[in-house]
Structure 1
Amino acid sequence: MNRSYKTFTFIALLFISIGFSSCFDIFEEYHFNKDGSGSAKFTVDVSQMMTLMESFSASMDSTGEMTNSVDEMFSDNKAEKSLQQLPGISDIKTLNDKAAGIVGFSYKFANLEALNNALIATDGNLDMSKMMEMGEEGATGESSTENTFSKKGNKWTRVFELNRPKNEEEEDEFQGMAEAMFADHYYTIQYYFEQNVKKVKKNDNAQIGADGKSVEIKTSMQDLIKGQANFSSLIKVK
């Protein structure tokens, strides 16, 4: 798994282990041109967590393990290095900002093939499988993720599915913890197009923006952790 997403997973495991109720919000943003080129941005807002993380690190022993982990989260540029190897990917930036409590990265893609390769290179999304397994003791088997974009005519399709083995005992134990951790936190995806959006299918959470050229899909982090989130969509533009 890419180091950047290991960092994000560390955040979740930290709050599982110490029982804090505050967590984070995840954002994806895509700008698409008619020819399939565009830009992508992935960020995680950890600003609400920072005070708690700093307070917890102050109580650690002299090894400074927690402090080092927090600093590493904001100095991580592994995603940028992975993307630099890919054809069709340019203008790569690391967006980590400790003062603002933001970690993430952005890039431009020449076509959807390049975008799909970039998603693979960076894991494409948070590795929620490790997060939900709560480490090796809670592991129930490997999870699989499908995350691809395609375009046919004026129809833009994204298939974004996370599949993991079910374990009822683990589900019951983790559900209450997830509800507390991820209350009022969301995974938000925003799409921007050159043309007006005509309709959106395959996702009840999708909303067409007031500008008529954007779509937002806002999903509860609780649903994501419980494996009930739907990120797939079919967007038809005019």
Structure 2
Amino acid sequence: MSKKLLFFSLVSLFLFTSCFEFVEEITFNKDGSGNATLTINLSKSKTKIASIMLLDSINGYKVPSKKTIKNTLAEIISKIKKTKGIHNVKNTLDFEEFIVTVSCDFDNVEALNAVLLTFSSKKEAIAIKKNKHFIYNKKSKTFTRSHHFNIGKEFQKTKMKDRKVFETATYTGIYRFETPIKSSSNPQARISQSKRAIMLRVKAQDIITNKQTIKNKIQLQN
């Protein structure tokens, strides 16, 4: 799981901090194209992380250097740029606040699914192809967000003391549309007053233990 997009490329740092947020933002145009931005925000633990970055290892884990993190990010960006239907790939890497962002424009959600396939194992790739992470149906005006990474399985492989890091970690998904939202299948999701945006905020630990899910089917108005 340590290669799943940028989130997992920095997992070794997450094990040393007690607060981080993973934010997924997708803005859709009516034709199904749009923009996607992923943000990893560790700013609330920046003082602690800055101190840890000065060490070679901690609690049996090797601490990645700034060069290693930069190289990992560059490798990820390079792979994303090669994906058909993906354009205008950008990223930021802030070692002061410890915030990382990766963004891109996409022609359709198939391009986003293709990006996920690039960073998936063969087994996971089969699952994604069969049950896609993102589906946008222009005819029925529905957007479906799913996921097939077995995070819980990987979580069980970590040490008990390291699992505490997920107690305050959160996932936030924000989706914006040009057409007003009619309804969503996930009861935890909140639709904005304008009806053109919806947000889901979930504790990472609840996702891992299957108490809550990031899966959602959003129905837009006709």
TM-score under structure 2 normalisation? 0.78
Distance 1:232 1:85 in 2: 27
Residue 30, structure 1, aligned to residue 26, structure 2 = yes
Distance 1:35 1:151 in 2: 9
Question: Paired residue for 2:75?
Answer: 78
Q: Report deviation, 1:74.
A: 4.8
Judge conservation of contact 1:23–1:181 (CA < 8 Å) in 2: yes
Code of the residue aligned with 2:112 in structure 1: it is L
| Structure 1 SS opposite 2:51 | helix
Question: Paired residue for 1:189?
Answer: 173
Distance 1:204 1:235 in 2: 11
Distance 1:165 1:25 in 2: 18
Check 1:162–1:34 CA distance in 2 against 1; reply closer, same or farther (3 A cut).
same
Distance 1:157 1:193 in 2: 13
* Equivalent runs, 1:119-158 vs 2, <5 Å: 119-123=116-120, 146=128, 148-152=133-137, 153-158=140-145
Q: Report deviation, 1:94.
A: 1.4
Q: Report deviation, 1:185.
A: 2.9
| Structure 2 SS opposite 1:160 | coil
Ranges in structure 1 where 5+ consecutive residues have no aligned partner:
128-141
* Aligned with residue 90 of structure 2, among 79, 89, 93: 93
Distance 1:35 1:214 in 2: 17
Q: Report deviation, 1:99.
A: 2.5
Question: Paired residue for 1:208?
Answer: 191
Q: Report deviation, 1:212.
A: 1.2
Question: Paired residue for 1:54?
Answer: 50
Check 1:81–1:184 CA distance in 2 against 1; reply closer, same or farther (3 A cut).
same
Question: Paired residue for 1:130?
Answer: none
Distance 2:5 2:109 in 1: 24
Q: Report deviation, 1:11.
A: 1.9
Check 1:199–1:3 CA distance in 2 against 1; reply closer, same or farther (3 A cut).
closer
TM-score under structure 1 normalisation? 0.73
Judge conservation of contact 2:152–2:209 (CA < 8 Å) in 1: no
Distance 1:191 1:3 in 2: 19
Code of the residue aligned with 2:176 in structure 1: it is Y
Q: Report deviation, 1:157.
A: 1.2
Code of the residue aligned with 2:142 in structure 1: it is K
Residue 104, structure 1, aligned to residue 101, structure 2 = yes
Q: Report deviation, 1:70.
A: 4.2
Judge conservation of contact 2:152–2:208 (CA < 8 Å) in 1: no
Check 1:226–1:71 CA distance in 2 against 1; reply closer, same or farther (3 A cut).
farther
- Alpha-carbon RMSD across the aligned residues, in angstroms, is 3.1
Distance 2:81 2:182 in 1: 35
Code of the residue aligned with 1:234 in structure 2: it is K
Aligned length in residues: 206
Distance 2:68 2:95 in 1: 11
Identity, % of aligned pairs? 26
Judge conservation of contact 1:95–1:106 (CA < 8 Å) in 2: no
Q: Report deviation, 1:87.
A: 1.4
Q: Report deviation, 1:96.
A: 1.5
| Structure 1 SS opposite 2:212 | coil
Judge conservation of contact 2:7–2:40 (CA < 8 Å) in 1: no
Code of the residue aligned with 2:10 in structure 1: it is F
Q: Report deviation, 1:107.
A: 0.4
Q: Report deviation, 1:32.
A: 0.6
Q: Report deviation, 1:6.
A: 4.2
